[in-house]
C-alpha cells in the first residue's frame, strides 16, 4: 500500500488537531453546562435576595446577599443582562436547593451564566468548520486543477522565510516557473522532500489557468499541492532566498567519516512546541481575563492550543 505523501500527512494532522481540540473544548464546556442545568433543576426553594454591589468587572456583574431557610447568609456573584434593573439595594429573586450554597436567578431571561458556557461551543463549531472547510477546499481544488490540461514549463525551487511568522511555519516553499517564451511566475506549494533534490530549470508540467492555483507535476510524476494563486511575486512579508536549494551547513564543510550528523529537525517538533506554547499562553490569558475562574480559563487554554496548532498546520510546515 502506498504511504500518504507529506502534504496529505500535514492535512490529516491539521484535521485531527482541529477535531480533537474542538472535542475537548466543547466537551469541557458542555459538561459544566449540563452540571449547571442539573443543579438549577434541583433548586426548588425560592427567596428574594438583595443586591449589595453592582458594576463588577467588565461585564457589570452584581453581588447578591441571600438567606436560606436555615437562616444562613450567602454572598454570590451573578452575571446579568439587565444591568440597569439590578442596582445596589434592589431585589434579586433567586432559587436554591436545600442545603446548597449556590443560587440561581429565577428570572427566565437572566441566562448569562448558562450562555457563557453554551455560546462558545457554538462559536467554536463555526471556527472548526471553517478550518476543516479550508482543508476540504484545498484537496478538492488540487483534484480539480490536476485534471485540467497541462503545459510545459521549467521550474526552479525557491525557499522563503516570513519576516513575522507567529504561529505559522517560518519557512515557505515556492516554484519559479518559466514558460517557453521566458515569462516567469511564482507558485507557492506544500513542501515535498523531492524538492530538496530537484535541480534548477527542471522540466515540469503545469496544470491550471493563469493567475489561478497551479498543480505542478515533476518529471518523476510527483504532483505538488498549490497554496495560493500563481503570481509574479511572493506574498507580502515573505523574503525569498537567492539559491535554488536551501542552504545547509553540512553541505559547506567536509566532515570526517565517523562524524555523527544529526538529522534535520522534524516539523512535528515545532507543531508540538506551538501546541504547548498556545496552551500555556491560554492558561495565563484565561486566568487574567476571567478573574481566576477555572472553567473559562481551561476553555481558553484548550481553544488557544488548538487554534494556534491548526494555524501552524494550515501554513504548510516543512523541515
pLDDT at 248 over 80: no
Lookup: cell for 215: 498543480
What sign does the CA torsion over 203, 207, 209, 213 have?
negative
pLDDT in tens, 15-54: 999 999 999 999 999 999 999 999 999 999 999 999 999 9
pLDDT at 274 over 60: yes
Greater confidence (242 vs 88) lies with: 88
pLDDT the model gives residue 266: 58
Q: Any bridge partners for residue 157, and if so which?
A: 175
Q: What is the pTM of this model?
A: 0.83
Q: CA nearest 193: which of 296, 64, 319, 305?
A: 319
pLDDT at 103 over 90: yes
- Listed in sequence order, the residues at least 6 apart from 155 whose beta carbon sits closer than 8 Å to its beta carbon are 175, 176, 177, 178, 198, 201, 202, 203, 204, 216, 218
pLDDT the model gives residue 256: 54
E-strand ranges in the chain read: 45-56, 61-67, 73-78, 91-96, 103-105, 150-162, 171-178, 184-189, 202-207, 215-217, 223-224, 226-231, 238-240
pLDDT at 245 over 70: no
pLDDT the model gives residue 34: 96
pLDDT in tens, 48-84: 999 999 999 888 999 999 999 999 999 999 999 999 9
**DSSP assignment, residue 182?**
S
DSSP string covering 123-179: HHHHHHHHHHHHHHHHHHHHHHHHTSPEEEEEEEEEEEEESS-TTS-SEEEEEEEE-
pLDDT at 263 over 50: no
pLDDT at 243 over 60: no
pLDDT the model gives residue 171: 85
pLDDT the model gives residue 214: 93
- CB count in 10 Å sphere of residue 159: 19
pLDDT in tens, 159-216: 888 877 778 888 889 999 999 998 899 999 999 999 988 888 899 999 988 878 999 9
Cβ atoms of residues 157 and 318 within 8 Å: no
Amino acid at each position: 500500500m502506498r504511504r500518504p505523501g507529506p502534504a496529505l500527512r500535514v492535512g490529516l494532522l491539521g484535521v485531527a488537531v482541529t477535531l480533537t481540540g474542538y472535542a475537548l473544548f466543547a466537551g469541557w464546556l458542555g459538561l459544566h453546562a449540563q452540571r449547571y442545568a442539573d443543579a438549577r433543576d434541583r433548586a426548588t426553594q425560592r427567596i428574594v435576595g438583595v443586591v449589595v454591589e453592582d458594576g463588577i468587572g467588565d461585564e457589570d456583574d452584581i453581588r447578591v446577599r441571600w438567606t436560606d431557610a436555615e437562616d444562613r447568609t450567602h454572598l454570590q456573584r451573578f452575571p446579568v443582562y439587565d444591568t440597569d434593573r439590578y442596582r445596589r439595594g434592589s431585589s434579586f429573586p433567586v432559587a436554591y436547593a436545600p442545603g446548597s450554597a449556590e443560587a440561581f436567578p429565577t428570572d427566565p431571561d437572566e441566562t448569562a451564566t448558562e450562555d457563557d458556557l453554551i455560546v462558545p461551543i457554538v462559536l467554536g463549531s463555526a471556527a472548526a468548520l471553517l478550518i476543516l472547510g479550508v482543508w476540504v477546499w484545498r484537496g478538492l481544488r488540487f483534484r480539480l486543477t490536476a485534471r485540467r490540461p497541462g503545459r510545459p514549463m521549467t521550474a526552479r525551487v525557491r525557499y522563503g522565510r516570513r519576516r513575522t511568522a507567529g504561529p505559522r511555519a517560518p519557512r515557505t516553499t515556492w516554484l519559479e516557473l518559466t514558460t517557453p517564451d521566458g515569462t516567469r511566475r511564482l507558485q507557492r506549494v506544500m513542501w515535498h522532500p523531492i524538492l530538496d533534490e530537484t535541480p534548477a530549470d527542471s522540466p515540469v508540467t503545469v496544470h491550471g489557468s493563469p493567475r489561478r492555483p497551479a498543480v505542478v507535476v515533476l518529471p518523476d510524476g510527483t504532483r505538488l499541492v498549490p497554496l495560493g494563486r500563481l503570481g509574479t511575486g511572493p506574498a507580502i512579508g515573505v523574503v525569498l532566498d537567492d539559491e535554488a536549494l536551501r542552504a545547509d551547513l553540512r553541505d559547506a564543510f567536509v566532515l570526517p567519516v565517523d562524524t555523527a550528523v544529526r538529522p534535520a529537525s522534524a516539523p512535528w517538533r515545532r507543531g508540538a512546541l506551538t501546541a504547548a506554547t498556545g496552551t500555556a499562553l491560554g492558561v495565563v490569558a484565561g486566568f487574567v481575563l476571567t478573574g481566576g475562574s477555572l472553567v473559562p480559563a481551561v476553555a481558553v487554554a484548550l481553544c488557544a492550543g488548538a487554534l494556534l496548532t491548526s494555524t501552524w498546520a494550515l501554513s504548510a510546515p516543512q523541515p
